[in-house]
Amino acid sequence: MAALLAGNRLDNWINGKRVAPANGEYLESVDPSTGKVWIEVPGGDAQDVEAAVAAAKAAFAGPWREMAAMQRAALLRAVAIEIADHAEELAAIECQDNGKPIREAVPGDLPSVSEMMNYWGGQADKIHGSTVEISPTSHNFVRYEPLGVVGIIVPWNSPLAILAAKVGAALAAGNTVVLKPAEQAAASILTIAECFDAAGFPPGVVNVVSGTGEVVGDALVCHPDVRKIAMTGSTQTARIISERAAPTLKQLSFELGGKSPNIVFADADMDIAVAGASTNAVFTGGAGQTCVAGSRLLIHASIYDELVEKIEAHVGEVVRLGNALDVSTTMGPIAFDTQYEKVKSYIELGQSEGAELAFGGRFGPENFEEREDAEALAGGYFVAPTLFRGATNEMRVCREEIFGPVTCAIPFEDDDEALSIANDTTYGLACGVWTKDLKRAHRFIRDVQAGAVWVNTYRRIHWAAPFGGFKESGYGRDSGLESLHGYQQTKTAWVDLT
């Protein structure tokens, strides 16, 4: 099997082939495990976006729109096979680019990417319209049609998984796409484009343009021939996109940040809750760089001290920081330098606000002082799992998204106080509830203002179930049939029978 990546430079993917950026500029992509440049990606501009949109528009008007739904379904299944065949290589590229551990990406992320494409292949030929009975002399029916060219903006924390959720749905609905990966971790998205080509997708159906958000992202958002922007990223970026997209009145869908409450009641199974509130929720392989991180840990006052102590012991036992490509690593680095500095600044802020550092708060080489591989990891962007105790929901570290391995333990006295704290946030992406009380669990499912609620589990996401947020965590949904409808427009037809 031929390798997807050759050399230390990647070009854009436009109209079925590699295309150098029109301005000739490239950006250095740094391996966050070492702090060293490992590959260059295009630093494209509006000229590249124009070429990609033109290719996507031509493909939509030509071979892709004329293709039967069953043929599109077959191509989606074919690309699922291509991705599975190249899973280990794609995983290694992504892990070196953004620091997610290989032991998590190979058995977890990449099989999911392939399975998602299979799922969307199964949906592509099942888009059915409906008839509406209005009168005996009128035949009325509804069609669901693609939008046209869709711009998809992918973040740096889980590029391939988010690509599969958005691109799969957009293609299944019959659209063509122009992808803009995050400039900090663009390599895996640029590389996977080869899989669509190998699967037989017509040129122009899938295009990838790399560059900064201010230049490439803005050109995509403002382009009049792009009929929708689907973005996963920060709330602030969504505000900018909303303003910039307004003149063209294109559709928008956003999956944004969160400050998700993870609520542990006194009757919870303590052993299960310990992992669910720590390594499953925020001290993850990706170093807490997940939009659903359980970064506000609400603990009933009667078990507060006990749970914090158990979490510290659990984290000390199971978390091993290290190079993302090392199979013994359970938590990788922060993805890039500016995010690393941001996380560090929040840990310093939490202490200045009066929260107590229960454990963690170590940066970079401090984490490897007695390790044999300390020298190799000295330049990496590593932050130790960090927990603040004695936190209050008024603190900035409890209100602002940190996007790192940091959580704040907040005590509560009863159900009403827990619910009040949980909902006292501008975000509304996810929530965890740990209890054996079924009635309590259902009350919180009903009353918590979040798009996903997990009971006695955390961070469970599946391509068949809708995923997205309330409030400033966005609107629109990824995954599931609800996501598919977001890439369609509805047409009503009236046929006079008199």
Listed residue (352, 356, 361) closest to 305, CA to CA: 356
> Would you call 408 a catalytic residue per the annotation?
no
Helices (H), 329-450: 337-352, 374-377, 415-423, 438-447
490 is written with which tokens?
């509805």
CB distance 96 to 192 below 8 Å: no
Q: Which of 82, 94, 183, 255 is catalytic?
A: 255
CB under 8 Å to 405, separation ≥6 — which residues? 282, 283, 284, 287, 288, 331, 343, 360, 383, 384, 385, 386
Q: Which of 195, 291, 398, 431 is catalytic?
A: 291
461 is written with which tokens?
């996401």
CB distance 345 to 400 below 8 Å: no
Helices (H), 187-289: 187-199, 218-222, 235-245, 270-276
CB under 8 Å to 306, separation ≥6 — which residues? 270
Residue 128, classed as helix, strand or coil, is coil
The vertex-219 CA angle with 218 and 220, nearest 5°, equals 90
CB distance 92 to 141 below 8 Å: no
> Would you call 431 a catalytic residue per the annotation?
no
Give the whole-angstrom CA distance, residue 455 versus residue 423. 17
Helix (H) or strand (E) holding 66: helix 63-66
The most distant pair of C-alpha atoms in the chain lies apart, rounded to whole Å, by: 87
Give the whole-angstrom CA distance, residue 2 versus residue 192. 13
The alpha carbon of 354 is separated from its chain's Cα centroid by a whole number of angstroms, namely 32
Residues recognised as catalytic: 255, 291
